[in-house]
Structure 1
Amino acid sequence: MDEMEAMNGTTVCVTGASGFFASWLVMRLLQKGYNVRGTVRDPGNEEKVGHLWKLPGAKERLQLVKADLLIDGSFDDAVNGCQGVFHTASPVVTVKSDPKTEILDPAIAGTLNVLRSCKKNESVKRVILTSSSSAVRVRTDFDPSVPLNESSWGSVELCERLQLWYPLAKILAENAAWDFAEKNNLDMVVVLPTFIIGPSLPPDLSSTASDVLGLLKGETKRFAMHGRMGYVHIDDVARCHILVYEEARAKGRYICSSDVLDNSELAQILAQRYPHLNIPTRFENIWGTRHPYTYDTSKLKNLGFEFKGTIDKMFDDCIASLIDQAYLPKQGK
């Protein structure tokens, strides 16, 4: 991509537009002057999409269209005429009975479905795929003294053995996407965010926000599974996506992570900052010995990116949002 079009008048597509992160991305794209075409399963469901219509610029430059990850060709109309496509939509992360049917197949098939629609439309200049840092870090064969970078890939065998279906889905879907992009000469850039923290625009909490809410209410089970985790502010992730779309130099994968903390470190910070909340101080160690790790984000920073969301700010913004939406009591209540 030699030259990016000016954002005014440029139309981009955001898949899964009503989701936790996608909603924030839509907001930032609208603020920058883009025309945004968002895909949702039911554009007429006011409970699911109403928050999008409240965004500044939405009435003038937002269009919501129906699309389904598992219906072949479902994204053809949504992508038609768009210069950029942000594929953020992903299947649910909870397994009820069959992980292959419920998570793995939808993640892979859905991603390829979107990419096929992009390939059909010559207007599409670049695709930005939202993957996950779990596609980098879920492995044991690394030197903990060397930060993980974009060349690292999670272990399929380890994910299968520990039944880590979400990271497995991300690894397999991203691999399939790269294979398709290379065979079809599709300009694709992948963003690998760590645990996204920040305000929730949708009224229904995502699995990420639900995990945080559980932690703030004293639950430890879901966070115990993490052990050690990278964290990043939702606004930094949105800005990262827009940067790698607009920046002609952007190529390949980009880790998007602000801080990496053990559960105990995070709990200590939050307990001191929010003494009125029942934040746990001890976590069960589900997986046994965990290798310490950090991330090398120099590739993203070399594009001129600066992380603005500190741990304090991302959780301050998240908690303020949870209080505003009445999921948490106000301080002193």
Structure 2
Amino acid sequence: MDKMIEPKLGKVCVTGASGFLASWLVKRLLLSGYHVIGTVRDPGNEKKLAHLWRLEGANERLQLVKADLKEEGSFDKAIMGCHGVFHTASPVLKPTSDPKEEILGPAMEGTLNVLRSCKKNPYLRRVVLTSSSSTVRVRDDFDPNMPLDESSWSSMELCERLQIWYVLSKTLAEKAAWEFCNKNGIDLVTVLPSFVIGPSLSPELCSTASDVLGLLKGETEKFKWHGRMGYVHIDDVAACHILVYEHKTAHGRFLCSSTVLDNNELASFLSAKYPSLPIPKRFEQQDRPYYEFNTSKLKNLGFEFKTIDDMFKDCIASLVEQGYLSSI
């Protein structure tokens, strides 16, 4: 236990608690015995939050409070007194005329608003920020024979040139977080998940889960742009956040990805495994560089990833149960 943060079962805050990943994180924290303060935009939206209140331990140890990434100081109440903060919330907006205004600004300012509230909390031990493996891999100057690790950063110039605004927003937000926390003495650890696969606790599917559902129904439009992509089980991502929060020696960035596959490798695996689903056999090939991820930093803490088989088995079972897919 000397390597772990004490007290293990203190009070923690999860921002954007009703989200796809955040819901799983809240679930795992409650199962571990933590008291969880979850921030949401509308605590009165019973329909959107019902899945959180159904979690084991929620009635005893979950509190949902209002906070908005765009409002400085709105996280003060939720964060004050917490030993740990898991910042998972991120604005997901479709750009219309000014992507910088609509995505980049809110992502950075939202992160800084949460961290300003963290700075006011004398009880805070550690902040765990959800970033993305995309902050590592969007660059055109790496050796494909050398797996990418946490020392790599995506090229902001390349993101801007290719108009990959989501990746640019995650990269800028994480860099802003490191700068703020280093300057203000806040213990920060960041988690960089690849594409997250698994059951959605909310019956309302987020864009990630909707894209997966589309693939299983035979659509190629969204997934064809993936080219080569890392995949990870949603439960692994939640577990990873808690591991790096609790482990005293955890520091810096942690890539969280189980398997990297080309589109056609994924299609081949899925269509063979689930022949009754109209999964595409092949994808239009994109001219993308080959890469692998080096996840030894996380594995050295004793972490083991679920397989691509586990990810889709659990995901499909959930989609069938929620009525999005007919039984297979």
Q: Give yes or no for contact 1:134–1:154 (8 Å, CA) kept in 2.
A: yes
The percent identity for this pair of structures is: 69
Task: Establish whether residue 6 from structure 1 lines up as the match of residue 4 from structure 2.
Answer: no
Q: Counterpart in 1 of 2:301?
A: 303
Which stretch of the first structure deviates more once superposed, 276-285 or 242-251?
276-285
1:225 Cα offset (Å): 1.1
Task: Establish whether residue 320 from structure 1 lines up as the match of residue 317 from structure 2.
Answer: yes
Task: Establish whether residue 223 from structure 1 lines up as the match of residue 223 from structure 2.
Answer: yes
What amino acid is the match of 1:47? K
Structure 2 Cα separation of the partners of residues 94 and 54 of structure 1 = 31
Which runs of at least 4 in structure 1 moved beyond 4 Å after TM superposition?
A: none
Unaligned runs of 5+ in 2: none
1:289 Cα offset (Å): 2.0
Report 1:173-212 matches (<5 A).
173-212=173-212
Q: CA RMSD in A?
A: 1.2
What amino acid is the match of 2:170? K
1:327 Cα offset (Å): 1.0
| Secondary structure at the counterpart of residue 90 of structure 1 | coil
Q: TM-score, normalised by structure 1?
A: 0.96
| Secondary structure at the counterpart of residue 284 of structure 2 | coil
What amino acid is the match of 1:292? Y
1:261 Cα offset (Å): 0.2
| Secondary structure at the counterpart of residue 191 of structure 2 | strand
Task: Establish whether residue 126 from structure 1 lines up as the match of residue 126 from structure 2.
Answer: yes
1:93 Cα offset (Å): 4.6
Q: Counterpart in 2 of 1:37?
A: 37
Q: Deviations over 1:268-308 (max 9, x none)?
A: 111011111110122223xx42111000001111111111x
Q: Give yes or no for contact 2:3–2:247 (8 Å, CA) kept in 1.
A: no
| Secondary structure at the counterpart of residue 242 of structure 2 | helix
1:47 Cα offset (Å): 1.5
Structure 1 Cα separation of the partners of residues 226 and 59 of structure 2 = 40
Q: Deviations over 1:215-263 (max 9, x none)?
A: 1111111111110100000111111100000000000000000000000
1:96 Cα offset (Å): 3.2
Q: Counterpart in 2 of 1:290?
A: 288
Q: TM-score, normalised by structure 2?
A: 0.98
Which stretch of the first structure deviates more once superposed, 274-283 or 187-196?
274-283
Cα 1:142/1:195, change in 2 over 3 Å = same
Q: Give yes or no for contact 1:192–1:256 (8 Å, CA) kept in 2.
A: yes
Q: Give yes or no for contact 1:41–1:68 (8 Å, CA) kept in 2.
A: yes
Unaligned runs of 5+ in 1: none
What count of residue pairs does the alignment treat as equivalent?
Answer: 327
| Secondary structure at the counterpart of residue 221 of structure 1 | coil
Task: Establish whether residue 47 from structure 1 lines up as the match of residue 47 from structure 2.
Answer: yes
